[in-house]
Structure 1
Amino acid sequence: MDRGLFLSKVPYSPPSWATHLDPIPCDIYSLGQVPTPIHKWNLPGLPKNTELWIKRDDLTGMQLSGNKVRKLEFLMADAVAKGADCVITIGGIQSNHCRATAVAAKYLNLDCFLILRTSKVLVDKDPGLTGNLLVERLIGANVELVSKEEYAKIGSVALGNLLKERLISKGRRPYVIPVGGSNSLGTWGYIEAIREIEQQSQQMGLCFDDIVVACGSGGSIAGLSLGSWLSTLKAKVHAFSVCDDPNYFYDYTQGLIDGLQSGLSSRDVIDIQDAKGLGYAMNTTEELQFIKEIAEATGVILDPVYSGKAAYVLLKDMKQNPAKWEGKKILFIHTGGLLGMYDKVEQLQSLMGKWQKLVVEESFPRIDGIGKMF
């Protein structure tokens, strides 16, 4: 499929193995820097003869980085086609999806309204400029705060509709994007990613047995599992849920793939394990230590909310159940989220070392230029 120039909208042509799905998107906006690279990832402690590879969807673009961009390529095309002048979406206070949506909207000359979930004690205070919030506020997104308690009581759909009706009453034309961009239209983002992986695998002479990804809203795993099942890949998709429990995601994913008339069962095409630990966006010292060790060992920085937790539990599972993974080629999808690390600075501080003052003797001569001494 010809994606056209960056920020251009082109007619969408699905992979040949997905033409029976319904509905098929009409258009796609070229927002991400794709294809993202795949490379060997030599994590320590892998089972015997196990190869781990990583797909760097954290490199889809600096401001738009991560898996959310793939969904937004379809969602933004739909918003523009329907004559929207602004978009609404919702997520946690450090939501990668909300940041990516705000950037994509600004690229396309749309206003963005974000409903961000925070604690009851902070809901009436300035949310600050940490991580994703800095990007969102720099580009002029409209931030509306809601407490976690209000969010749990009312729900994301009702909150989105509440803001939508308010904007309509002011003469605006809003387009609501669900949490994480996860609906059947957004699912096409990772169906398209499977076509990309399929082509890269053929070029690299690789045949992956398993695909591993973090799961936070369901859209990515729906697209990956559906695409892998239908394409030539046939790799088993393993999702590590960082919020809610596996049964919730099996049901949610089922709704997304049913929305495309696939006729498949989520429990047949995906394996979901619990990786939420202390809770969504909450980390133990052990998890953060793991992220630091992986960064030092491989140069790949995982985020603390999604990929970091997924990789942490994956390695634990490999140690506890080595026979399950031995001899396999595994592709890990890095879904981005680096800006989330800034929210963990205080927790990370005690884990950092390797610094000291450079000792310079008073008599040490100054040298300017190449070999010129004063």
Structure 2
Amino acid sequence: MIGKAMFPPRVHLANTPTPLQKMERLSRQAGVEILFKRDDFTGSELSGNKVRKLEFLLADAREKGADTVITCGGAQSNHCRATALAAIKAGLSSLLLLRTADPGRPPAISGNILLDRLAGSQIVWITPEQYRARDEIFEREARRLHGEGKKAYIIPEGGSTVLGAWGYVDAISELVLDLKRLDGDDLKPTTVVCATGSGGTTAGLALGAQMSGVDIRVVGVNVCDDRDYFVAIIDDICRRFNETWPGARATGIPPYEIVDGYVGRGYALSRPEELAAVRDLVRLEGVVLDPVYTGKAYFGMLAELARDRGVFGERIVFIHTGGLFGLFPIAEQFAELV
């Protein structure tokens, strides 16, 4: 087990532990035991995986005397929405750099954008080209806030930092207790499958699995970019984690896998077959996935299982990282499917 004494300070925001639920009908259909770790239950407004990371990041922001957090993401970013709402709970303001094709004509106020606005976040719309230089824009906005007498704390894309990784180290600790309730002390080998969109969740899971000493295999399905891109990010997070907390019982780069090939049309762009998989799961188990992260990762997991039922072993835990609000802006894409 991972001792709680080694964890950095945190602000308690998430409704945890989240349930581990067996998908009975899905398991029968796939021919392998599939459970969902329901991190979409971390909170109604804060639902999803980001809040686990934000507990540590916002504690650090407050400790450093910040009054405003700055972060970034796509127009319908779950991370930005969670940051905006979590910041309020931590007594902070937020500024969001949101990516869109034409900042002069930003997307309609719907889904996560509506929640960002309700939270009172400052929104700075930037192009995809500008987004590639987001570190420079972070610093520019931090300087502007400083000129207004404020102090900014920058949270990179997805909260995927060395400190944020503790959120999913903690999730593994929680999962081990879940599995012990099922198996007793003789735990069955388990493969954890998650969406990989910025790398921090996968890094935290891999570190947590290594630190727990339990037979947990970690597999990420990338929803953008490619395997090499995420291996570089995840390895860097793990390496710096070990350097920052040498007493945390993590050594070297922990084992993990990235299953590439399911990006489809690109980040936040859905194919009909991906949306059909989302629809079919709702009708099979009453569980709703999002189109950007969990929908793509779930589709990839099913495709891999269709090729080889044993590819992930006899037990899979799929991390449901939330994102329900992202469905509403693309409702018309479901028209022919429902």
- TM-score category, normalised to shorter length: over 0.9
Matches within 5 A, 1:1-374: 15-16=2-3, 19=6, 25=8, 27-41=9-23, 42-43=25-26, 46-48=29-31, 50-119=32-101, 122-152=102-132, 154=133, 156-205=134-183, 207-261=188-242, 262-265=250-253, 269-274=255-260, 275-325=262-312, 328-352=314-338
Question: Is residue 100–residue 128 contact of structure 2 (8 Å, CA) maintained in 1?
Answer: yes
- 1:166-186 per-position Cα deviation (integer Å, ceiling 9, x unaligned): 111221101101100011000
Q: How far 1:126 moved relative to its partner?
A: 4.4
Question: Is residue 18–residue 230 contact of structure 1 (8 Å, CA) maintained in 2?
Answer: no
Q: How far 1:87 moved relative to its partner?
A: 0.6
The TM-score normalised by the length of structure 1 is: 0.84
Q: How far 1:44 moved relative to its partner?
A: 6.4
Q: How far 1:207 moved relative to its partner?
A: 2.8
Alpha-carbon distance in structure 2 between the residues aligned to 1:44 and 1:231: 26
Task: Quote the RMSD (CA, aligned, Å).
Answer: 1.7
1:285 to 1:45, Cα distance in 2 relative to 1, 3 A: farther
Q: How far 1:232 moved relative to its partner?
A: 3.4
Alpha-carbon distance in structure 2 between the residues aligned to 1:36 and 1:44: 20
In the alignment, what sits opposite 2:246? Answer: none
Question: Is residue 307–residue 335 contact of structure 1 (8 Å, CA) maintained in 2?
Answer: yes
Can you give the 5+ residue segments of structure 2 that lack an aligned partner in the other structure? 243-249
Alpha-carbon distance in structure 2 between the residues aligned to 1:111 and 1:325: 42
1:87 to 1:325, Cα distance in 2 relative to 1, 3 A: closer
Q: How far 1:79 moved relative to its partner?
A: 0.4
Q: How far 1:208 moved relative to its partner?
A: 4.2
1:82 to 1:239, Cα distance in 2 relative to 1, 3 A: same
In the alignment, what sits opposite 1:5? Answer: none
Question: Is residue 27–residue 34 contact of structure 2 (8 Å, CA) maintained in 1?
Answer: no
Alpha-carbon distance in structure 1 between the residues aligned to 2:237 and 2:301: 25
Alpha-carbon distance in structure 2 between the residues aligned to 1:344 and 1:254: 34
In the alignment, what sits opposite 1:367? Answer: none
Alpha-carbon distance in structure 1 between the residues aligned to 2:30 and 2:116: 42
Give secondary structure in 1 for the equivalent of 2:145: helix
Question: Is residue 93–residue 118 contact of structure 1 (8 Å, CA) maintained in 2?
Answer: yes
Alpha-carbon distance in structure 2 between the residues aligned to 1:247 and 1:162: 30
Question: Is residue 17–residue 231 contact of structure 1 (8 Å, CA) maintained in 2?
Answer: no
Question: Is residue 18–residue 39 contact of structure 2 (8 Å, CA) maintained in 1?
Answer: yes
1:289 to 1:165, Cα distance in 2 relative to 1, 3 A: same
Give the partner amino acid of 1:92.
G
Give the partner amino acid of 2:305.
M
- 1:182-210 per-position Cα deviation (integer Å, ceiling 9, x unaligned): 11000000001111111111122253420
Alpha-carbon distance in structure 2 between the residues aligned to 1:207 and 1:33: 27
Give the partner amino acid of 1:191.
V
Give secondary structure in 2 for the equivalent of 1:185: coil
Q: How far 1:18 moved relative to its partner?
A: 9.2
In the alignment, what sits opposite 1:370? Answer: none
Can you give the 5+ residue segments of structure 1 that lack an aligned partner in the other structure? 1-13, 353-374
Question: Aligned pair count?
Answer: 326
Give the partner amino acid of 2:214.
L
Alpha-carbon distance in structure 2 between the residues aligned to 1:247 and 1:46: 33
From the two aligned structures, give the one with the greater helix fraction: 2
Larger Rg: 1
Give secondary structure in 2 for the equivalent of 1:222: helix
In the alignment, what sits opposite 2:247? Answer: none
- 1:85-111 per-position Cα deviation (integer Å, ceiling 9, x unaligned): 111001100000000000011112211
Alpha-carbon distance in structure 2 between the residues aligned to 1:285 and 1:99: 26
1:15 to 1:263, Cα distance in 2 relative to 1, 3 A: closer
